[in-house]
Amino acid sequence: MNKELNALIAEAALISGKNFGRKINFCHTGEGFPAISLTGSKCSLSCKHCKRKLIERLPSATTPDELKSACLKAASHGATGVLLTGGCTSNAKVPIYDFLEAIKEIKKETSLRIIAHTGVADLKEARQIKEAGIDGVCLDVVGSEETTEEIYGIKITPRMYEETLIAFKRAGIKNIAPHVCVGLHYGRLHHEIKALDIISCIKPASIVITGLTDLEGTPLSGVKINPSDFIRVLCLARIKFPDTYISLGCARGKGEIRSEIDRMGVDAGVNGIAIPTRAAYEEAGRLGLEICEYSACCAVLPEQLR
Q: Is the pLDDT of residue 306 over 90?
A: no
Please determine, for residue 301, whether its predicted confidence score (pLDDT) is greater than 90.
no
- The average confidence (pLDDT) of the chain is 95
Where residue 156 sits, what CATH number does that domain have? 3.20.20.70
Burial letters 223-256, b for 16+ CB under 10 A, else e: bbbbbbbbbbbbbbbbeebeebbbbbbbbbbeee
**Region of poorest pLDDT, from 8-17, 148-157, 212-221:** 212-221
Residue 285 near residue 261, CB atoms below 8 Å: no
Look at residue 102 in the predicted model and tell me its pLDDT: 98
Residue 275: its pLDDT value, please? 95
Where helices occur in 110-226 by DSSP H, the ranges are: 123-132, 145-147, 158-170, 192-199
d(CA 51, CA 281): 32
Q: Which pLDDT band, with edges at 50, 70 and 90, does 15 fall under?
A: very high
The Cα 158–Cα 163 span in angstroms is: 9
pLDDT digits (tens, 9 = 90+) for 64-96: 999 999 999 999 999 999 999 999 999 999 999
Q: What is the pLDDT of residues 158-171, one digit of tens each?
A: 999 999 999 999 99
**Total structural domains in the chain?**
1
What residue numbers bound the domain in which 233 lies? Answer: 3-304
